[in-house]
Amino acid sequence: MISLKKKRMLTDKIFKVIFLIFISLGLVVLAALIYDIVSKGIIMLDWEFFTRFDSRFPAKAGIKAGLFGTIYVIGLMIPITFFVGTATAIYLEEYAPKNKLTDLIKLNIANLAGIPSIIYGMLGLGVFVRYLNMGRSVLAGALTLSLLVLPVVIVSAQEALRSVPNSLRNASYALGANHWHTVYKVVLPSALPSILTGFILAISRAIGETAPLIMMGALTFVMFTPQGIMDSFTVIPIQIFNWTSLPKAEFELVAASGSLLLLILLFILNGLATFIRYRYSRK
């Protein structure tokens, strides 16, 4: 009897240690990565790094074009993705008839989330840049990235809407509210924190994307910031990618500074997601 208990406790301990090893494996790699980027990136990171354009001299190279490009593209992508994504999720969860077709659409959206990002770049090049004649513009880039993250946004918004208890909906109907009122006043507000969290995490992913934007034709070397949504542009990850491939070894440090900036942007966004979730769910 006692030995059986001991055995069970031993198994328990063994698994605890195994799990601990695995999580520390991930944490050690993460810490090494962050240490590497910070220790190298801090060397070249000064105010001028933000105010200068790219240069062939590592000491003079700056991220201004990429920073503004990223702000423009992501800034334009946010409203597009939020409205299209949330609206799609609302339709699928609240309005769509429950039949085979709806199921098929839902299944396909979930599958789209797993498609490699470069495929979206090719789609963007074919549809937005060439067919719709938008050129290699901020707008085409924002739409391409929107397509890339929409499946993730839709799926997470669907989950959020599904988690709203039906009793809330029924209560609203019982008080005489119509369908839209119920969705807008009752379902959406209680699902919003989860929708926003999923949404912001999807935006974080889009900020780090390089491949689809290179594919659809974002540029490498620009000495100006976009003046409008039809202007050409570059983004932070493309600049980092380019710096790592240049012959001068010092560009590795410049690339590290760019990575550090990207990392900081991502931390801010993730922090925002946590903050929103915390704030809205307390209400």
Partner 1 sequence: MRKVTTLFFVFALLVMAVFPAGAAAQELKGTIKIDGSSTVYPITQAMAEEFSYEYPRVRVTVGVSGTGGGFAKFNVGETDLSDASREIKKSEAEIAAENGIEFTKFIVGYDGITVAVNPENNWANDMTVEELKMVWEPNSSVETWSDIRDEWPDEEIDLYGPGADSGTFDYFTEVINGKSGASRSDFTASEDDNVLVRGISGNKYALGYFGYAYYEENSDSLKAVAVNGVLPNRETIASNKYTPLARPLFVYAKNSAVQRPEVEAFLKFYFENAPEIVPQTGYAPLPSYEEALAKVEKLAK
Residues in contact with partner 1 by CB under 8 A are: 53-56, 72, 75-76, 78-79, 82-83, 136, 184, 188-189, 192, 196, 217, 219-224, 227-229, 232, 242, 244-249
The nearest distance, CB 125 to partner 1, in angstroms, is 10
Residue 49 or 82: which CB sits closer to partner 1? Answer: 82
Dihedral sign, CA of 118, 41, 255, 28? negative
DSSP codes, 141-153? HHHHHHHHHHHHH
Report the C-alpha gap between 175 and 177 in whole angstroms: 6
Q: Which is nearer to partner 1, 79 or 271 (CB)?
A: 79
Smallest gap from residue 104 Cβ to partner 1 (A): 31
> Which residue number, 3 or 245, has a Cβ lying nearer to partner 1?
245
CB nearer to partner 1: give 176 or 228. 228
Alpha carbon 216 to its chain centroid, in Å, reads 18
Distance in angstroms (rounded) separating the CA atoms of residues 171 and 168: 5
Tell me if 200 sits within 8 A of 270, measured CB to CB.
yes
Cβ proximity to partner 1, 50 vs 53, nearer residue: 53
Which amino acid, one-letter code, is at 248?
K
Least Cα distance to 137 among 213, 249, 248, 223 occurs for: 213
CB-based contact 72:209 (threshold 8 Å): no
- How big is the chain by its Cα radius of gyration, in Å? 23
Min separation Cβ 143 and partner 1, Å: 13
- Residue 238 gets the label, from left (phi > 0), alpha (psi -120 to 50) or beta, of alpha
Q: How far is the CB of 134 from partner 1 (least distance, A)?
A: 12
Minimum Å distance from CB 84 to partner 1? 12
Report the nearest approach of partner 1 to the CB of residue 198 (Å): 15
Closer to partner 1 by CB, 102 or 244: give it: 244
Q: Are 233 and 219 in contact (CB under 8 A)?
A: yes
